[in-house]
């Protein structure tokens, strides 16, 4: 059995904030020794809606070469980290639509016994960050996943302030993730890899 932990970072981002957090998760997971896939979920919004928002249009072009997530990315991974902007206190429909394609994998038990975590961004302070992460984790509980969070396991978390997962307040895409949000995202990813490695070793033994 290949001992290297496989991590899938699967995200949705309209205006690029959550994408920057996804990149931080990828970098940290790689530094922690994992093999990492970065995957965006398929865009569902009509072209005219995207074109009406310059930030959305620009981000779509920026990430046109990022591969789209497939159910196989979930079965491949030992660790899955999902990110989404908050939409009324929940994950974006685009990420939920991807999640809703996983019925066959779920039925086969292929989503269980993996480590899962998440990150989010909002326009306003709090703004539903914890609710979004908890709504995402509800899916992971249904899958039989093991949810790993940053908690307060590092002093930086007393500054970041969200033990449920990494989060950032963007003022509607105006404020890029700062070092606090990126550090929380990196911590989340590193802990997920660490726990994923321990689980993988344990399950193999």
Ligand X SMILES: Cc1cc2nc3c(=O)[nH]c(=O)nc-3n(C[C@H](O)[C@H](O)[C@H](O)COP(=O)(O)O)c2cc1C
Binding positions for ligand X, 38-57, rule CB under 6 A: none
Asked if 17 is part of the footprint of ligand X (rule: CB under 6 A), the reply reads: yes
Burial 149-167 (b: 16+ CB within 10 A, else e): bbeeebebbeebebebbbb
Please, which residue, 117 or 121, has the CB nearer to ligand X?
121
Sole window of 103-111, 121-129, 143-151, 176-184 interacting with ligand X (rule: CB under 6 A): 121-129
Cβ pair 36, 30 in contact under 8 A:
yes
**Closest chain position to ligand X (CB):** 127
Asked if 121 is part of the footprint of ligand X (rule: CB under 6 A), the reply reads: yes
Asked if 170 is part of the footprint of ligand X (rule: CB under 6 A), the reply reads: yes
Q: How far is CA 32 from the centre of its chain?
A: 17
Asked if 172 is part of the footprint of ligand X (rule: CB under 6 A), the reply reads: yes
**24 phi and psi angles, rounded to 5 deg:** -65, -40
Please, which residue, 110 or 123, has the CB nearer to ligand X?
123
C-alpha distances (whole Å) from 184 to each of 106, 151, 163 are 29, 10, 9
**Bridge partners of 169?**
122
Asked if 66 is part of the footprint of ligand X (rule: CB under 6 A), the reply reads: no
Q: Which of 6, 39, 40, 87 is in the footprint of ligand X by CB under 6 A?
A: 87
Q: Other CB atoms closer than 10 Å to residue 100's CB: what's the count?
A: 10
User: Which of 81, 50, 48 is CA-nearest to residue 64?
Assistant: 50
Q: How far apart are CA 176 and CA 170, in angstroms?
A: 6
Q: Which of 18, 149, 162, 188 is in the footprint of ligand X by CB under 6 A?
A: 18
Q: Which of 89, 151, 161, 163 is in the footprint of ligand X by CB under 6 A?
A: 89
Shortest Å distance, C-beta 51 to ligand X: 15
Asked if 13 is part of the footprint of ligand X (rule: CB under 6 A), the reply reads: yes
Can you give the binding site for ligand X, defined by CB under 6 A? 13-19, 85-89, 121-124, 127-128, 170, 172-173
């Amino acid at each position: 059995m290949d001992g290297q932990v496989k991590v899938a970072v699967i995200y949705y981002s309209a205006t690029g904030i959550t994408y920057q957090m996804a990149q931080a998760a990828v970098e940290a997971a790689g530094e922690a020794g994992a093999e990492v896939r970065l995957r965006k979920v398929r865009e569902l919004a009509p072209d005219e809606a995207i074109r009406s928002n310059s930030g959305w249009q620009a981000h779509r072009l920026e990430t046109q070469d990022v591969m789209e997530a497939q159910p196989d990315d979930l079965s491949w991974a030992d660790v899955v980290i999902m990110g989404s902007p908050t939409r009324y206190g929940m994950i974006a429909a685009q990420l939920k639509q991807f999640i809703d394609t996983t019925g066959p994998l779920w039925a086969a038990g292929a989503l269980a016994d993996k480590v899962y975590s998440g990150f989010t961004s909002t326009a306003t302070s709090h703004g539903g960050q914890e609710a979004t992460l908890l709504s995402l984790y509800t899916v992971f509980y249904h899958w039989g996943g093991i949810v790993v969070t940053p908690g307060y396991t590092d002093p930086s978390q007393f500054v970041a302030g969200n033990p449920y997962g990494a989060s950032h307040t963007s003022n509607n895409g105006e404020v890029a993730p700062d070092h606090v949000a990126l550090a929380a995202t990196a911590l989340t990813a590193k802990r997920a890899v660490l726990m994923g490695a321990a689980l993988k070793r344990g399950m193999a033994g």
